[in-house]
Structure 1
């Protein structure tokens, strides 16, 4: 059986140890000969890499390991690029969340103004990694977890239309894990689903087990009462903000009790409630810094110092199972059914053909083949059309260096109350992102209109 070479782009991520543990846990079905880390922050990556080197040495010494900041070293001789970059790291996520909250608008890393800001930072970083892959390993596939996936997917569709990149998300997988637990199954891929939407903006329309039994009635009864929350015992290690998120699904489900919502819809359907219940002084960035960030880096330093995995606290990341399954589908042409972000092109028949939708696809060695989800209802269609326009305008702004297009994108976002608030947020975001965004230009008419508004 062929053994594969993988580079994790964003090797300094706190998610990297979980991905490594998942890969090591599946060597029987996805063998690896070489694992590399690549990151442009060598100091941060070194903490993670020093620990992962010990883990690999003790669990799978036959795997060659390398951590590097050199693109040629990182991307030469690889079969898969697993990308999970965060341009600007947590310092910029902090601003994505807290700047909108100054104006009473949701502060969230992938939704609303914060998501748009993050998207404009991510585009250049993802394109850079994609170009490295195509230069040094032109036959490789890039599996991109980098957020916000919809904006990144629209940018790669437009700017790298022939590239071998799959934009994916683990949030639907995480929700399906919960659905499986609710109906008494073991894992997400025990379910066969129909789903449509944009990334972080979609609905499940059918859920069955592998024998074809309809699981929707049991799930409807449960979700209408509990959302996606499991028992107290099962939620003991869940962070408070995520408990609130999974519980809030009860309310988003109420708007369409025929279909199950992605949890991120709470930010669009209950915008005022969510903004009012966010603490502008302590957002999810702070929660991550005080939680996962501290845990991962302290555990990595402990492992590296001891040069032993005795007492190892890292476990396989259940969401990372998806990226292994996706890699296997491409490597072995398994034609598995998986959720992928792909150009619509008729998958949703009454929706924009060039939208980057998230739908079930059959995945094999030539990539994904979209499945037809048919027509969608007016409520979802109207909502999706607004959101896809936001994403396309954001990419327009990046490509054209257009202040106006970005102002339009923020104004059109369902999370922002009006154009004046959008402009105030945008002007603050421009200052915060001066090291990362392209310089945005205003023409004479825009400047005159801005003067009249003030």
Structure 2
């Protein structure tokens, strides 16, 4: 059977993750053929550095694919089958403020969790909704595969404010952890079948089996109880991809998070909620994760793209496909060709967790086909997880209400409810500082 060739728009063409998407698309042309790729970004200069290198790469690897980079919405969104969206409103300069302002008050600042995630969410909502509106105007039959952070807040915003839109919100965090689990087991991630539930960056694996149905959880638990998600190769000091110090700390900390409920395996980001004071104490207020990314990933990707452009060839290119690039290609294939892929997605609960808010955006396994995701029922969840999740869902819903209503009061409430923030007074101090630096990005609050 001849597969239909697809037209792809990467929204956030200037992202350092964009080359990885292109590499993965090229690696999968036999399974996911493409006739056209477009880039869209509102920062022309930044996008040009990425686009010029990717254009060379495409000409050498797949000259049959038409390529275009643009800052014009109509040009970008016309004649599109899939929008792959990963935007960062305010770029890393604003992420740095998200992280450093809370630390002034002894509260951890983080991209998607607590005050930092709330600030970023208030910036992201409008940007993602604008992309949805462009898609519906110019290519109403297209699907948006959105992995713009903070995914939980963005997912709640699209559920509430664009309820009929063809958008699927995804996250590569569980995929990355599952790759590590697979290394522990000495097998491939796609050979594992998982049961998982939670919110984005806030979940638990309850069952992992191989293709023959054998239980893989005991061996993974034994490893995590001793080493967290640090892989056997990393423990041996084997050479491989360099892991940044902050991530290595995150993988190690999973050991303590696991101790709270040894019947499950936790998402690493639970450390920010369960050990927030530890994380704040360990953070360097002058050099946060944003600085680490700007000094490492950003420099590496832009330097390599500029090198490729200067040479006029992609031979010897060091750019690689990322975990999340693989995941998003699998999702697009499932929709385009009705492959019934099983994937973890962020979807309205609607009874999948039978004792949880039906309107909550939960992260659970789904079967994906041409009609989108079909959530798989995970049953009732225990009181421990339910209590934590209800608190966090309240934060996410309050943030979206604050954005929609322009409500300072609701945003203060959201910060106060967050498990990461110690009390309402500190919440207000942080909020006032965040309001001051986000006036160009947030709705006016009253």
Q: TM-score, normalised by structure 2?
A: 0.98
Partner of 1:196: 197
Paired residues in the alignment total 440
Q: Is the 8 A contact 1:22 1:318 kept in 2?
A: no
Structure 2 residue 394 is the aligned partner of structure 1 residue 389: yes
Alignment of 1:220-259 (within 5 A): 220-230=221-231, 231-232=233-234, 233=238, 237-259=242-264
Q: Is the 8 A contact 1:6 1:80 kept in 2?
A: yes
In the aligned structure 2, how far is the partner of 1:219 from the partner of 1:315?
A: 28
Measured against aligned partners, the alpha-carbon deviations of 1:46-72 in whole angstroms (never above 9, x if no partner) come to 000000000000011110000000001
In the aligned structure 1, how far is the partner of 2:112 from the partner of 2:196?
A: 20
Structure 2 residue 323 is the aligned partner of structure 1 residue 318: yes
Gaps of 5+ in 2: none
Q: Is the 8 A contact 1:203 1:262 kept in 2?
A: yes
In the aligned structure 1, how far is the partner of 2:136 from the partner of 2:328?
A: 20
CA RMSD of aligned residues (A): 0.8
In the aligned structure 2, how far is the partner of 1:56 from the partner of 1:318?
A: 20
| C-alpha distance 235-386 of structure 1, shift in aligned 2 (>3 A) | farther
- Partner secondary structure for residue 263 of structure 1: coil
In the aligned structure 2, how far is the partner of 1:221 from the partner of 1:276?
A: 28
Partner of 1:410: 415
Q: Is the 8 A contact 1:336 1:363 kept in 2?
A: yes
Q: Is the 8 A contact 2:172 2:323 kept in 1?
A: no
In the aligned structure 1, how far is the partner of 2:69 from the partner of 2:352?
A: 40
Gaps of 5+ in 1: 442-454
Partner of 2:134: 132
Partner of 1:288: 293
Alpha-carbon distance, 1:210 to partner: 1.5
In the aligned structure 2, how far is the partner of 1:235 from the partner of 1:175?
A: 17
Alpha-carbon distance, 1:334 to partner: 1.0
Return the match for 1:184 from 164, 180, 186: 186
Partner of 1:62: 64
In the aligned structure 2, how far is the partner of 1:52 from the partner of 1:211?
A: 41
Partner of 1:161: 163
Structure 2 residue 17 is the aligned partner of structure 1 residue 12: no
| C-alpha distance 241-235 of structure 1, shift in aligned 2 (>3 A) | farther
Alpha-carbon distance, 1:196 to partner: 0.5
Alpha-carbon distance, 1:235 to partner: 5.8
Return the match for 1:339 from 344, 349, 355: 344
Q: TM-score, normalised by structure 1?
A: 0.96
Return the match for 1:30 from 29, 32, 35: 32
List, as ranges, runs of 4+ consecutive aligned residues in structure 1 with deviation greater than 4 Å.
Answer: none
- Partner secondary structure for residue 386 of structure 2: helix
Return the match for 1:433 from 406, 429, 438: 438
- Partner secondary structure for residue 35 of structure 2: strand
Partner of 1:103: 105
Alpha-carbon distance, 1:319 to partner: 2.5
- Partner secondary structure for residue 8 of structure 2: strand
Alpha-carbon distance, 1:159 to partner: 0.5
Return the match for 1:147 from 146, 149, 165: 149
Alpha-carbon distance, 1:311 to partner: 1.9
